[in-house]
Structure 1
Amino acid sequence: MRKTIMGVAAATALLLAGCGNSEQPAGTDHGNTPPSTGAAEQATHNDADVTFAQQMVPHHQQALEMAALAASRGSNDKVKDLANRIKQAQDPEIQVMNGWLAQWGVTSTSPPTGMDHGSTGTSAPGMDHGAGPGMMAEDEMRQLEQASGADFDHMFLEMMIRHHQGAVEEARTEVAQGANPDAKALAQRIIDAQQAEIAEMEGLLKAL
C-alpha cells in the first residue's frame, strides 16, 4: 500500500510538471506570433493618428450641420446637390474614426493628445477647445442658419471652401506624421475628395 501511494504521488508530480512545461512555451509562442487584426490596429497608431481623428470628427460633424441647412435654406440645386454629397461622404467617415478612437482607448470629445500644451492654457490657444483649422465660429454658424436663398448659397460656399481647406491641412499633417495605415489612407482620400470639391465650389461661386 505504501509503495502504491508513493507511485501515485510520483505520477501526479510528473503530470503537473509536464503541464507546467507545456504551458510555458505556449505563452512564449503567443508573444512571438503576430497579434490579431484588432490588436494590430490598436497597436499601430501614434499621437498624430489620435489627433487627426479627434480633430477630424468634430470637423466633419460641423460640415454635416452646414450641409443639412442647404436643403431648406439654399436655392441653388447644384449647391444642394453638393451639400448632399458632403453628407453622404463624411457621415460614414465619422463612424470609422470614432471606431478607431474606441479601439485606441480615447474619445472624440477629449482634447487632441497632440495638443498637450494646450491644456496649460499657455500655448496653441486656437486649439484649446479641440477646434481645428477651418472650423466656423459660433456666430458664423448663426449667420448661416439665418440666411436663405442666394445669400445662403453664397455664404455656404465661401464657408465650406474654408472648412474644406482646413480639413485638407489636417489630413496632410496625418499623411506626413501618422503611423496607422488606415488613418493615413483616409487622410489621403479626404485630401483628394475635398480638393476636388473646393475647385467645384469655387466654380459655383463664380456662377452665382
Structure 2
Amino acid sequence: MKQQLLLLLDGLDEVRAEIRDTCVAALNVFQQEESSEIVVTSRIKDYESLSNRLNFQSTICLKLLTLEQVHLYLDSTGFELTGLRTLIGEDRALQELTRSPLMLNIMTVAYQGVKIAALPQTDTTQLFNSYIDRMFQHRQPKLHYSKSVAIRWLVWLAQQMSQQSKTVFFIEQLQPSWLQTTVDKMTYRLGVILLGGVVC
C-alpha cells in the first residue's frame, strides 16, 4: 500500500499569508513521519518570502519562455502564423505575454491565418474575443447552446466565483445560494423534490 498515492498541494502561495509558514512546517512534519512523497507548487516570490523552507528531495523552477523558444514553438505548430510572428517582433508588450505558455497557446489559436494588418496591438480584450470566437467555430457542430448563452452563463459563473473569493471552479462547490432570482430558487427546490421522489 505504501507510495501508491502522490500528494499534491497546488498553490502554496494561495494559502493565507499569515499561516503559510505554519503550513510549510506541518508539511515537513507530515513528510518526515509518513515518508510520503509530496509535490507542492508555489509562485517563487511568495515561497522565497517565507521563513520556513520545505525539506523535500528536490526543487524544480519553471521559468518563462525565451523569445527563441517562442519562435521554435510557432515554427512547430504547422499553422500559418506569419502575422503573429511579425507582430511579436514589433511589439515588446506582446513579447512579454508570449513568455507564458498559456498566453502563447491562446495567441496561436486566436491568430492562426490572420494577416498582420488585422492583428491588434497588445489588446488583450481583442485577443480573448478572437480566441473565444475561434473556440466556438471549432466546436460549433457539437454545441447544444448558442455562443451568447454560453458567454452569459460564464460571466455569471465568474461573478459568483469572484463574490465567493474562489479562483478555481469545482462543479461540486456550486451552491443554491448563488441563485439570484426567485424563479431560479423555486426551480432548484422543485428539481430537488422531484429528484428525491425519483430516488425514493
Q: Same fold (TM over 0.5)?
A: no
Q: Determine which structure has the larger helix proportion and give its number.
A: 1
TM-score using structure 1 length: 0.21
Highest relative contact order (Cα 8 Å, sep 6+), 1 or 2? Answer: 1
Structure 1 or 2, whichever has the larger Rg, is 1
TM-score using structure 2 length: 0.22
